[in-house]
Amino acid sequence: MKIAYLILTHKSSIQLTRLINTLNCEEVYFFIHVDKNSSDEFFYEVNNTFKTYKNVFFIDRSSCAWGEFGIVEATIEGIKRIIVSNINIDYVVLLSGQDYPIKSNKYIKEFFTTNNGKCFIHNFPIPRPGFHNGFYNRIPPKYKLPWNISLWGGSQWWCLTRECIYYIYYFIMKNPAYIEYCKHLVVPDEIFFQTIVMNLNFKSNIVNDGLKYIDFDSAPPPKNHPVTLSKEHFSTLSNSTSLFARKFDIEYDYEILDMIDKDILKI
């Protein structure tokens, strides 16, 4: 089981290093995108830290302001980089630099082996009842989809098979008008990939779960960003069926990561 972790990061080389070293094991590869808005110091720290790692690769940088297309662009560049690497990947897992596993590497690999062929991506059809004008607040009405396909939304984060990643890549290459349309959306990273994947011909293989614990419910309005997890969340994380969680900030609470290492990951 070969896993590619596609990581979008913008700060804290210490936290990123901890994430990668925790996930690093046999037949695992890392494709890192450093936000172009990040400091040069951060970029050089990350490059220097991983320059001797044979399984770490870097992606051409994009500017990743929240709610804008740059996050999608960075993810697309990561997908391209994974494909041209010619590594026979089984799964691609999209993470941020503030994510952390809440299951062991052995468990993660066994999970994907058992569920091989299934695509894990949170999704819902648009319009979505009860959600800010049915999610149409994200879609300027003057722009029209270039084809008669259905729009879908969901969480940015996913775990997708090689077959699905190749389909996404070829869809993007053949349909530049779709990219142009999505550049006008608000928070397009929560629509772009769901819409492609949910219009596939193998919907039976799609599981409506991104496999990542995220707490938006406890966040203050307008709930644009999830709660930063702390040691108070440890019990919840211990009982979660997800493979990963976000978001963590070692400047806010480093102890939660130590607790996960010791009591969940057993490292």
68: pLDDT strictly greater than 80: yes
Distance of CA 16 to the CA centre of its chain: 14
Distance separating alpha carbons of residues 22 and 204, to the nearest angstrom: 33
Portion of the chain with pLDDT greater than 70, in percent: 97
pLDDT digits (tens, 9 = 90+) for 7-66: 999 988 999 999 999 999 999 999 999 999 998 889 999 999 999 999 999 999 998 888
pTM: 0.95
Q: Are 243 and 108 in contact (CB under 8 A)?
A: yes
pLDDT of residue 215: 92
1: pLDDT strictly greater than 70: yes
Residue among 263, 267, 260, 262 at smallest CA distance from 102: 260
Least confident of 64-73, 136-145, 186-195: 136-145
Q: Which residues, 6 or more positions from 191, have their beta carbon under 8 angstroms from its beta carbon? A: 126, 138, 139, 151, 152, 153, 182, 185
Q: Give me 54's structure tokens.
A: 């044979």
Least confident of 109-123, 145-159, 232-246: 145-159
> What would the CATH number be for the domain defined by 3-213?
3.90.550
User: Can you give the residue ranges of every domain in the chain?
Assistant: 3-213
Distance separating alpha carbons of residues 28 and 55, to the nearest angstrom: 7
pLDDT of residue 173: 95
Burial 18-43 (b: 16+ CB within 10 A, else e): bbbebbeeeebbbbbbbbeebeeebb
Residue among 150, 156, 169 at smallest CA distance from 226: 156
Least confident of 180-184, 224-228, 235-239: 224-228
Three-class secondary structure assignment of the chain: CCEEEEEEECCCHHHHHHHHHHHCCCCEEEEEEECCCCCHHHHHHHHHHHCCCCCEEECCCCCCCCCCCHHHHHHHHHHHHHHHCCCCCCEEEEEECCCEECCCHHHHHHHHHHCCCCEEECCEECCCCCCCHHHHHHCCCCCCCCCCCCCEECCCCEEEEHHHHHHHHHHHHHCHHHHHHHCCCCCHHHCHHHHHHCCCCCHHHEECCCCEEECCCCCCCCCCCCCCCCHHHHHHHHHCCCCEEECCCCCCCCHHHHHHHHHHHCC
176: pLDDT strictly greater than 90: yes
70: pLDDT strictly greater than 90: yes
Band (pLDDT 50/70/90 cuts) for residue 190 is very high
86: pLDDT strictly greater than 70: yes
209: pLDDT strictly greater than 70: yes
Distances (CA, A) of 219 to 33, 128, 130, 225: 27, 21, 18, 7
pLDDT digits (tens, 9 = 90+) for 99-139: 999 999 999 999 999 999 999 999 999 888 777 665 778 88
Residue among 37, 73, 93 at smallest CA distance from 185: 73
Band (pLDDT 50/70/90 cuts) for residue 222 is low
Mean pLDDT of the chain: 93
For residues 150, 155, 156, 160, the Cα torsion angle rounded to the nearest 10 degrees is -80
